Structure 1
Amino acid sequence: DLPDGILGDIVSLLPTAEGARTQILKRRWRHIWRCSAPLNLDCCTLVARGGGREAEDELVGLIPSILSSHQGTGRRFHVPSSRHSDRAATIEAWLQSAALDNLQELDLWCTHTYLYDYVPLPPAVFRFSATVRVVTIANCNLRDSAVQGLQFPQLKQLGFKDIIIMEDSLHHMIAACPDLECLMIERSLGFACVRINSLSLRSIGVSTDHPHPHELQFVELVIDNAPCLKRLLHLEMCYHLDMHITVISAPKLETLSCCSSVSRSSTKLSFGSAAIQGLHIDSLTTVVRTVQILAVEMHSLCLDTIIDFMKCFPCLQKLYIKSFVSGNNWWQRKHRNVIKSLDIRLKTIALESYGGNQSDINFVTFFVLNARVLELMTFDVCSEHYTVEFLAEQYRKLQLDKRASRAARFHFTSNRCVRGIPYIGRAGDLDLTDPFRF
């Protein structure tokens, strides 16, 4: 009994194929998807079985029929990547369709034939600049001539993946989005440094790429002034490139992620005079009290490093750790004075790849016996170790009956407990209150 407009909005939130299937429910619904629902066309959900060129050809034939038959407005269009150069003109024709007028969300994965051989951005993209709110562009060469003069007055989320763009053009695009809230830059080339001066940005996610012989590498991020920035995530680090992140002014920064590599490369994160080089804090003259959520990817699970982080971020409440091997985590004598002076405010701790060896146990018991406000500690355990006997042994060895926080709960799982890089796929994912929690 709902009006067509409301039913249309509901249908537009369904995956493309499911939205189309609502036409078979009853006569009342037959016209909703075609006429009343804003078009949500995700081509990735329509790929035919089997893959390969035949599946792509089938998809290429299906999309025009959807666009020509739809009589409502356009909400979202997700164009998947193609490795066939003859698709560029086809994509341009799709983008010119009247069914996409006033488009709000565009995911455009451009055609590429091999690594870094990217085509220019299709000109038809520019016709959405006045209405689009969410944009992801991948596998594309954004040339200076195309970017200059663009304005995106309503753009909230902008994601770049595997693109080539010059530094001046990148800064121009960011400045052309006065209401931009989420910015993601992954594995992109053509610029060395990104400087952020934005009154609206709330979330930033960056990652580096492998060195390329003919293009500049993205190796430096400077937050000059971002009064609304709450989340700063270093999503992934190339094993061959250093990344230097400097935060000059971000007074509301609450969530932070850092990566450490096993190779010669490292991440340097600076807050004023406090510097974190490769997850080792060089100076504690600056203390950042706003950060409450921290995600750390380290090669070796190291309690010393985490204690340094708690000193630098004394108001930390949630800690997510991904490690690959165990370190040496004896602490009873080494950190005797730390225990007396450090105010541990952690309420949530999640460990991915917990092995249950003595080093891991030493790491965990530090928090079991000293974190007085701890509420939940989660352990991701390898499925082959996830047995009744293993869990019983861990409960005993971790001294859970002596826990400092009587309200603390300890949860073992064989599923991933930290929402990591593969699950942060779009700029909007950065804007979750806690982007690392499933």
Structure 2
Amino acid sequence: MEIEASGPCSRKRKFAGLGSLEAGAAPEGPTTGDQDQEPPPPPLNGDRISELPDAVLEEIVSLLPTKQGARTQVLASRWRRLWRSAPLNLDFRPYLFDKDAQDVIISRILAVHQGPGRRFCAPAYHLHGDRADAWLRSPALDNLQELELCSYTFYLPFPPATRQPLPAAAFRFSDTLRVATIGECHITDSTVQALHLPKLQKLALERVIISETSLHALIAACPALECLLIHDSTGFRCVRINSSSLRSIGVRGFCYQRGLKCLELVVENAPSLKSLLQLGSCGFLHISVISAPKLETLGYLSPDSSSRLVFDSTVIQGFKVDSFTTTVRTVKILAVEIYALSLDAVVDLMRCFPSLEKLYLQSDGPGKTNLWRRKHQNLIRSLDIRLKTVVWRYYRGIKSHVDFATFFLLNARVLELMTFEVHDKDYNDAFFAQQREMLQVDSRASRGARLCFTSDWSYRYISLDPSVHDLDPADPFERTQPLKADTNFMLCGNC
């Protein structure tokens, strides 16, 4: 977001001691007195931002990244006051590679900022020692709402091998926190015993060590918890979910635990749960859903035979339905990830989830034979295909892919949209014309169905570096931005 100055200003302002707007520190010059009390200049034609009350502008500033929020001080004296009193959004990441500058900048920001804390984001391994304790106890972070103590292995591929306990000063925010990401820490049993987080809505545990007893106690200490992400964490074998508030759960990377035959996630009682996501490699993960009456979203299912998903007496082993006696009619969104896409396997899954409306596919392999006209004739008569949306990443247009796609085009009577992400070399008129004929668009079962070919990413792939915020949307796989107009081609009947 860019904010333009509300009026002409000929004076140049610099940040004290750093000479750079990127430092996020206070500008040179008086900080109190008449200068800070100057009325804002009259707005230019079409400028509505300057007419907003201070409380609204402070909220806007607090949502900006640290550097951009600090830069608003140069706009006018009114904006300088706004940044100092707005809830502070302080993120270490822009300064990770220059520790000396980082310490100076962070200390200066905390010293000059007068408002409450909104968000504090820092690598966990850095927050040990007297200086870090002073930062966490700074009045500028009072009433903190979001705390992110992350590992940042993307920036530092070799984090410290020994995981330290959480900094003691981090616990002073327990009454106000709404979002907490804890990474590269050892959460001890004694720490969890005294912990209560009455307002926490989102919790992520990334590469932490925590015992099974403490993990369950931590979840129970968050009565308002809505989103839970457990990522590459160790110290436990089974996670049992009993929560009336949880709406979304994401798990990733349990295969790193040695000496354990399998890990279990058991959803015993989750009346509000809507999303259950397996993100990336979750080797030897067994998931059992006992009671989740509102569950709508599942993904990513993969052919890994070491993983198992159980609903009552229905057992899905890897990508194969081993036992089928109960249908799950609440599930409407399903994402699958498989190298060689198999129509037979997907059809079996649809029998388990007969109310499926959205299907997300990721498959870049050659695919199975996927012939269906004779093989599934009886099934087509009995299976009510309710799919409205199919999104396919890495569609190649080869025969096995075409056979898979035509099954839905010629049999899904309420289909609205099929989106295919294709390689750049296939994004051309000749490929589109060929696919129109091969996919039999004019014979589609749903006369309103449209096909969209795109070279842009066709849906959100959140497995690689998941965040607890990725779990929040009603459809976590749906793109938040529309496909680019210059990278998609719509195809429908009579066009």
- Which residue matches 2:78? 28
3-state SS, counterpart of residue 178 of structure 1: coil
TM-fit CA distance, 1:424: 6.6
Match of 1:77 in 2: 120
Q: For residues 257 and 179 of structure 2, what CA distance do their matches in structure 1 show? A: 29
Which position in structure 2 is the counterpart of 1:373?
A: 414
SS at 2:99 equivalent: helix
Structure 1 residue aligned with 2:107? 64
Choose 297-306 or 248-257, whichever is displaced more. Answer: 297-306
> 8 Å contact 1:191–1:216 — kept in the other structure?
no
Paired with 1:247 and 1:86, the residues of 2 have a C-alpha distance of 38
1:310 to 343, 350, 354: 350
CA contact (8 A) 1:258 1:279 kept: no
**For 2:303 and 2:351, how far apart are their aligned partners in 1?**
22
Cα 1:406–1:423 shift into 2, 3 Å: farther
CA distance in 2, matches of 1:360, 1:110: 40
2:295 to 253, 263, 271: 253
| Cα distance in 1, alignment partners of residues 472 and 204 from structure 2 | 13
Q: CA deviation at 1:212?
A: 4.1
The aligned runs of 1:215-294 (5 Å cut-off) are 219-238=263-282, 241-261=283-303, 265-294=305-334
Q: Pick the aligned partner of 1:103 from 127, 130, 144.
A: 144
Show the 5 A alignment for 1:174-189: 174-189=219-234
Distance 1:86 1:6 in 2: 32
1:7-406 equivalences in 2 (<5 Å): 7-35=57-85, 37-44=86-93, 46-47=94-95, 51=97, 55-80=98-123, 89-109=130-150, 114=159, 116-213=161-258, 219-238=263-282, 241-261=283-303, 265-325=305-365, 326-406=367-447
Q: Relative to 1, partners in 2 of residues 1:110 and 1:126: Cα closer, same or farther, differing over 3 Å?
A: farther
- Residues 80, 228 of structure 1: CA spacing in aligned structure 2 closer, same or farther, 3 A cutoff? same
**1:302-339 Cα distance to aligned partner (Å, 9 max, x none):** 11111111111111100101123122211111111111
SS in 1 for 2:251: strand
Q: CA deviation at 1:223?
A: 0.3
Structure 1 position 81, deviation (Å): 5.5
| Deviation for aligned residue 1:347 | 0.3
Aligned to 1:432: 473
Structure 2 unaligned regions, length at least 5: 1-50, 480-495
Distance 1:6 1:379 in 2: 42
Change (3 A) 1:421 1:115: farther
425-434 or 113-122, which moves further after superposition? Answer: 113-122
Q: Which moved more, 1:353-362 or 1:415-424?
A: 415-424
Distance in 2 (alpha carbons) for counterparts of 1:243 and 1:34:
48
Which of 377, 392, 410 is the matching residue for 2:451?
410
Identify if the C-alpha distance between structure 1 residues 20 and 217 changes in structure 2 by more than 3 Å, giving closer, same or farther: farther
Measure how far apart 1:104 and its partner are. Answer: 0.5
Distance 2:128 2:354 in 1: 53
Identity %: 53
Q: Quote the Cα distance in structure 2 between the aligned partners of 1:88 and 1:278.
A: 46
In 1, distance between residues paired with 2:131 and 2:431?
Answer: 57
The structure-2 alpha-carbon separation of the partners of 1:126 and 1:86, relative to structure 1 and needing over 3 Å to count, comes to closer
Q: Aligned-pair distance for 1:2?
A: 2.5
CA deviation profile, 1:11-39 (whole Å, cap 9, x unmatched) = 1111211111111112221210012x100
Partner of 2:37: none
Q: Give the SS at the match of 1:232.
A: strand
- Aligned-partner SS, 1:364: helix
Aligned residue pair count:
424
Instruction: Give the TM-score normalised by structure 1.
Output: 0.92
CA distance in 2: counterparts of 1:4 and 1:281, whole angstroms: 58
The list of structure 1 runs, each at least 4 consecutive aligned residues, that deviate by more than 6 angstroms after superposition, is none
- Alpha-carbon distance change, 61 to 347 in structure 1, aligned in 2, over 3 angstroms: same
Q: 1:162 to 1:218 in 2, by over 3 A?
A: farther
Instruction: Give unmatched runs, 5+ long, in structure 1.
Output: none
Q: Say whether the 8 Å CA contact 1:197–1:224 is kept in structure 2.
A: yes
**Structure 1: how far apart are the matches of 2:287 and 2:446?**
36
Q: Is the 8 A contact 1:34 1:69 kept in 2?
A: yes
Aligned residues of 1:23 and 1:29 also touching (Cα < 8 A): yes
Return the alpha-carbon distance in structure 2 between the equivalents of residues 183 and 405 of structure 1. 39
The CA distance in 2 between the partners of 1:131 and 1:352, in whole Å, is: 41
RMSD of the alignment, in Å? 2.0
Q: Post-superposition shift, 1:57?
A: 2.5
Alpha carbons 2:241, 2:269 under 8 Å: kept: yes
- Compared with structure 1, are the counterparts of its residues 425 and 90 closer, same or farther at alpha carbon in structure 2 (3 Å cutoff)? farther
Task: Report how far residue 246 of structure 1 moved.
Answer: 0.2
Separation in structure 2 between the aligned mates of residue 345 and residue 107 of structure 1, nearest angstrom: 41
User: Match for 1:122: what amino acid?
Assistant: P
Deviations 1:397-428 (A, max 9, x none): 11111111111111111121121125773223
**Cα separation, partners in 2 of 1:433 and 1:110, compared to 1, 3 Å:** closer
Give, as a single letter, the amino acid of the residue that structure 1 aligns with 2:442.
D
Check whether the contact 1:208–1:243 (CA below 8 A) recurs between aligned residues. Answer: no
The whole-number CA distance in structure 2 between the counterparts of 1:218 and 1:386 is 44
**Counterpart-to-counterpart distance in 2, 1:191 and 1:136:** 19
The one-letter code of the counterpart of 2:87 is: P
Seen in structure 2, the aligned counterparts of structure 1 residues 256 and 88 have a Cα distance that, compared at 3 Å, is: farther
State the Cα deviation string for residues 27-63 of structure 1 (Å, max 9, x = none): 221210012x10011222x327xx4xxx233222211
Q: Secondary structure at the match of 2:59?
A: helix
Provide the rounded CA distance (Å) in 1 between the counterparts of 2:129 and 2:470: 29
- Residue 266 of structure 1 and its aligned partner are, at CA, apart by 2.8
